Amino acid sequence: MQISVIIPVYNAEKYVRQAVESALSQPEVAEVILIEDASSDKSFNVCQELANEYPRVKLFRHKDQKNHGASASRNLGIQKANFDYIAFLDADDFYLPRRFKLASKKLNKCSEIDGVYEAVGIYFQDKESQEKWAFIGRSSRKLTTVNIIIEPDFLFETLLKKQEVGWFHADGLVVRKTIFERTGYFDENLEFSEDIVMWLKMAAVGKLIPGSLDIPVAMRRVHSHNHVTRFHKKLLYYSNLPRWETLFIWGYKNRLEPIKLALLFSQYADSITNQTLETKANLLPRNLYKLYKAITMITLIIKYPRIIQSLRHLWGFKKIIFMNKSMNLLRS
């Protein structure tokens, strides 16, 4: 198994060497692709040093040598990758020993599997970063992980509807390169949540399975310049309307299977309703909220008429579930 590790680099001169060397230490890594994204510090110089020092390190920049963000950098990395498996690593994070041992076994064993996701731990750079992490309500999270075993056929729906099952991080994912033929590339219009959107696309059209969910395979570094700690409010905004709008439009254009598209439609309608009502959404009676959402859905159906077929499938599916539950109750 040969893996291309893609590392977008922006203002990470202090950390990128550790990231690269942690990847090179993995026997499965055939190349490390650095996409230097017009940093204002000395990141480019460090990347040049690494590329000169290690033959497996390939360094690229965007054609105009301007800053384009994580999505565009990952996309360029995917296009430059020479091997069949893709893994990601943020420039301020690092892999742990035997990062790909379990994932490679699972992928080699079953050709139908598109990727493996595993747990990622947290490394605090200093006390200040740990305090900021606690301030935004994340101090209880020791791992970024999905905390239950989910069959790949149910991963999309579970991630969509059950926040308590957790999530996976880019550092803990390895996929076959061919999955991007179905998902497309990372959305370059999203400033935040572009990774979550991609993972949901992968879960919708591919088969992702769990690897190590309780022992981390990589560490995400928390420091004062992290996006999560610096732009927490912005991150919360992008986790709502922009995320669901992007996913629904992608699913609609790509004719995602009806039940999955209907679920995205419901999430999209919810996000529009919540934004319209702003802080009042949680204070309204349930029936009144449903009325607002119904109006939103009608407006969207007019704009996206093909969604009616998907909604019919979802209503039919729910009817079958209801009937099965009723029959089980009668039998008991």
Q: For the chain, give every domain's residue range.
A: 3-238, 241-331
Reduced to 3 states (helix: H, G, I; strand: E, B; else coil), residue 40 is coil
Per-residue pLDDT of 191-240, as tens digits, reads 878 999 999 999 999 999 999 999 999 999 987 665 554 544 544 444 57
Residue 69, phi-psi category: left (phi > 0), alpha (psi -120 to 50), beta (remainder):
left
pLDDT at residue 64 tops 80: yes
Q: How much of the chain, in percent, has pLDDT values that exceed 90?
A: 67
- Domain 3-238 has what CATH class? alpha beta
H or E stretch covering 237: helix 232-238
> Given pLDDT bands bounded at 50, 70 and 90, which one contains residue 67?
very high
Per-residue pLDDT of 96-138, as tens digits, reads 999 999 999 999 998 999 999 999 999 887 777 666 666 655 5
Please tell me the predicted confidence (pLDDT) of residue 226: 57
pLDDT at residue 285 tops 70: yes
Please tell me the predicted confidence (pLDDT) of residue 330: 40
Per-residue pLDDT of 236-279, as tens digits, reads 444 578 899 999 999 999 999 999 999 999 999 988 888 877 76
Please tell me the predicted confidence (pLDDT) of residue 264: 94
**How far lies 141's CA from each of 96, 144, 165, in Å?**
19, 7, 13
Residues 251, 260: contact at Cβ < 8 Å? Answer: yes
> Given pLDDT bands bounded at 50, 70 and 90, which one contains residue 162?
confident
16: its two tokens: 């990128």
